[in-house]
Chains A and B, each alone.
Chain A
Amino acid sequence: MKKNVAMVALIIGALAVLLPFASSNPDGLENLISTSGAQPQHEPFWNGLMSDYNVEAVGNSYLSAFLPGLFGTVMVLLATFILASSIAPKKKNANQA
């Protein structure tokens, strides 16, 4: 348990440290879309809760990027833990390798 908590802390620490160094240039696919002049056939019907990993309400640019990252990390942890618990409930299969 302690080891997993330490790993999560390390992951969030890495996010906090590395985020300012992340390239803001479009990724390979976004670059392809913008340079090819391809036009979307329809508008997306869902724009997410924090589109492009940014919360505009936060004035600080670092926090605007970090907070969605932190939120996403917590959501992934929760979702995958629920997934894993559904795959293998605690009591069932307890003795399987």
Chain B
Amino acid sequence: MHIPDGYLDPAIIAITWAVTIPFLIFAWKKTKTTYNHATAATLAVSSALVFVVQLINFPVAGGASSVHILGGTFLAIILGPFAAMLSMTTVLMMQAFFFADGGLLAFGANAFNMAVIGGLSFFIVQLLMKKSAGRSRFASSVLIASWSATVLTALLTGLELGFSSAFAAAGGITLTVPTMFSVYVVAGLVEAVLTAGLAVSLRQWQPGVVLGLKLLGRRGEL
């Protein structure tokens, strides 16, 4: 879901950069107050895992199309919302710079769609776990957060492309939004099940790794 260069209008590029940069600056400041050096390895390893899962596309829509896991909610559960934004932004930066996967001008849009939305999905988990912190509540919260983040990312991508003149002749948002939604509403389920499964397993077997969980109980520090 990495938007390449050439398809977004300059105004959309400017708006998405203008919205994304303050989020990343805020994320940097919040992360600096919350994290210690011991978390560096967790951040690096979980980012590498997300880079690899984004390489593995699986078929959808009868094989006509394919999608990959985004991993934003997974990072948010492992690292907390703000470190997840920085982690995903770094992954996207490497993808754009080394592999031209996502444009450099479109980087603001891609970072917002995948890094910021992925990080913010943490707060859906937090909201849904207000009343109970049980395993099934945790699993369903992560499931809903992950699916919502994937679908919202797809919708935003559809809107950004649909409002750009490259897609005007094809129908603009009346084409891009339903197309993106129809693919990722299903793909989001796969992502949600995998993310919830992995998050529950880590919580069970390696709770020390799941830094986001610790932050769930310390809302004042977020």
Contacts and interface: CB of A to CB of B under 8 A. Distances in A.
B30 to A, nearest CB: 10
Interface in A14-29: 14-15, 18-19, 21-29
Query: How many residues of B sit at the interface, in one of the four size bands?
Result: 35 or more
Interface in B57-104: 57-60, 63-68, 83, 86-87, 90-91, 93-101, 103-104
Interface string B156-168: 0100010011110
B2 interface: yes
A49 B95 CA distance: 10
The DSSP consensus for interface residues of chain B is helix
B99 A50 contact: yes
B44 interface: yes
B66 A32 contact: no
Contact of B63 (A15, A25, A47, A95): A25
Contacts of B99: 48-53, 68, 72
B49 interface: yes
Contacts of A53: 55, 99, 101
Q: Which of A38, A51, A80 has the most CB of B within 10 A?
A: A80
Interface of A: 1, 4, 7-8, 11-12, 14-15, 18-19, 21-29, 31-33, 36-53, 68-69, 71-73, 75-77, 79-81, 83-85, 87-90, 92-97
